[in-house]
Chain A
Amino acid sequence: MKPTRAFNESLWAFHFNSGSCNGCEIEIVAAITPRYDPERFGIKLVGSPKHADLLIITGPVVKKMKDRLLRVYAQIPDPKVVMCVGTCGISGGVFYDSYNLEGPVDDVVPVDVYVPGCPPRPEAIIHGVVKALAKLERIEGVGQ
């Protein structure tokens, strides 16, 4: 599948909270503030998975959110990349042996980029987005 011109110029992300404590959300919001302003590079958060190229997942995937995560993942058009933000999503973190978990995230959907930290700093999140973009370009075979 060839990426469209619009796709080459921007990366739109949809954020999904699968049961996070809100710590990671605060850092994601900090990452899109004018201090870093990733929107000048075409990177922005969108309100619907149907508009997104990148799925950012926070939280360890609690039971109630598994179906919803699978549905949102399926609704993102191909090609897509998934970025897991925070220790919770990577390993379960402080909730790792909770009775209520279906996660970590890569037990539910395939993850391309991991951003560790509890919570990760905005710089780390932006670094993860850059990695996700590189991965997308590899999937697409851009520049080969």
Chain B
Amino acid sequence: MEIFSSLLSGSGAWNPLAWLLAFVVAAVIAYLIWARGERSYKKGTEQTAPFISGNKEPPKGDLHVRAGNLYWGYTDALKGYYERIVPLHSGDMNDYVLWYLGITALIMVIVVVFS
């Protein structure tokens, strides 16, 4: 039958039923692990809070790793560039439209002069 046949491509075989079977097996294993877990913990108490050597859990926001932390080395290496470019991001729509019109005018001038 068509449904049981595999799709053969340059990078291997693709059979949706095999994938479905793998998913079901993984789900059953996950359920068995979950079902053997400790159920007697008390919800909403310290027993569900993370253990941080007995210290109080800080607010979630304070633990957040910002994108700036990930790109620190990158932005530091290009500091000279970012120091000029960041102030231009004023968040003011008028500024952005002004830049847009200015650059469009410049391109038109270049096109007219060199065409």
Taking CB atoms and an 8 Å cut-off, the chain A residues in 58-99 that contact chain B are 65, 67-69, 71-72, 74-75, 77-78
- B45 interface hit (Cβ, 8 Å): yes
Please name all residues of chain B whose beta carbon is closer than 8 Å to the beta carbon of A74 when the two chains form the complex: 45-47
Q: A74-B47, A77-B47 are in contact. List 15 more A-B contacts (CB 8 A).
A: A1-B40, A48-B51, A49-B51, A65-B54, A67-B56, A68-B54, A69-B54, A71-B46, A71-B55, A72-B51, A74-B45, A74-B46, A75-B49, A75-B51, A77-B38
Please name all residues of chain A whose beta carbon is closer than 8 Å to the beta carbon of B54 when the two chains form the complex: 16, 65, 67-69, 71-72
**Minimal beta-carbon separation of A87 from chain B (angstroms):** 23
- A50 interface hit (Cβ, 8 Å): yes
Partner of A78, one of B40, B46, B51: B40
Q: What is A's interface to B at a CB cutoff of 8 Å?
A: 1, 16, 48-50, 65, 67-69, 71-72, 74-75, 77-78
- B4 interface hit (Cβ, 8 Å): no
Complex formed: what's the CA distance from A74 to B51 in Å?
11
- B114 interface hit (Cβ, 8 Å): no
- B31 interface hit (Cβ, 8 Å): no
- B71 interface hit (Cβ, 8 Å): no
Complex formed: what's the CA distance from A37 to B54 in Å?
28
Query: CB-defined interface of B23-65 with A at 8 Å, one 1/0 digit per residue?
Result: 0000000000000001011000111010101111000000000
**Minimal beta-carbon separation of B86 from chain A (angstroms):** 42
